[in-house]
Chain A
Amino acid sequence: GNSVTQMEGPVTLSEEAFLTINCTYTATGYPSLFWYVQYPGEGLQLLLKATKADDKGSNKGFEATYRKETTSFHLEKGSVQVSDSAVYFCALIETQFYFGTGTSLTVIP
């Protein structure tokens, strides 16, 4: 079946540190992959997406590359800010959406 596994949190980083949140997936076909972000008290917002192998999604300094050979879609950012503190969800779409459990990120000044 389909599933998404992302690294456990919480993650705490200092401002300007490098961020990686690992995400791997299992899928029966060729899904689209997504990263969503959830700020406190809000719903999920799309951060970036990739629809086929080797595509790179990017937005607000975040990026992730669709790696079919390793079934991965790791989220990276070169220099995090306090405003990046949120919960990040990796997801895939085939006939329906499948979400990871979420990774909480706290960035301290």
Chain B
Amino acid sequence: NAGVTQTPKFQVLKTGQSMTLQCAQDMNHEYMSWYRQDPGMGLRLIHYSVGAGITDQGEVPNGYNVSRSTTEDFPLRLLSAAPSQTSVYFCASSWGTGGALTEAFFGQGTRLTVV
């Protein structure tokens, strides 16, 4: 059972480049989310999805887009990378929606550097 798989694990981008961080889960979870982790800031929610075709913004959505065409996949797109987006990105999934969410399962993370 693979759980939550993120690719790539490391990426270096130049300012203004675009890229997509991939996230896939094989647990049939409805809820998926993206976080960024920065020193001293903990985990901040970027975008989340409560099911295929449904996405919503989290705490820090600017500069990022998401889509959810299938239950399994939840890619995160950076349209024009900026140095402020240098961070470690985590994808997570969970059973349930709304107030019935259970524990979150995390991917291994993507370490992104924008130069």
Q: Which residues of A contact B (CB under 8 A)?
A: 29, 32, 34, 36, 42-46, 49, 89, 91, 93-97, 99-102
B101 contact set on A, CB distance < 8 A = 32, 93, 95-97
B74 within 8 A of A: no
Is A97 within 8 A of B108, CB to CB? no
Is B41 within 8 A of A95, CB to CB? no
The 5 closest A-B CB pairs, nearest first, are A101-B42, A43-B106, A99-B43, A44-B106, A93-B101
A100 to B4, CA, bound (A): 22
B33 within 8 A of A: yes
Q: Please give the number of chain B residues whose Cβ is less than 8 angstroms from any Cβ of chain A in the complex.
A: 24
Is B98 within 8 A of A43, CB to CB? no
A100 contact set on B, CB distance < 8 A = 42
B99 contact set on A, CB distance < 8 A = 29, 94-95
Q: How many A-B residue pairs have CB under 8 A?
A: 55
Over the window 93-115 of chain B, the binary record of Cβ atoms lying under 8 Å from chain A Cβ atoms (1 yes, 0 no) is: 01000110111111111000000
A66 to B43, CA, bound (A): 22
B33 contact set on A, CB distance < 8 A = 96-97
Partner of A99, one of B42, B48, B108: B42
A46 contact set on B, CB distance < 8 A = 103-105
Over the window 30-56 of chain B, the binary record of Cβ atoms lying under 8 Å from chain A Cβ atoms (1 yes, 0 no) is: 000101000011110100100000000
A52 to B108, CA, bound (A): 29
Given contacts A94-B99, A97-B101, contact A45 B106 (CB under 8 A): yes
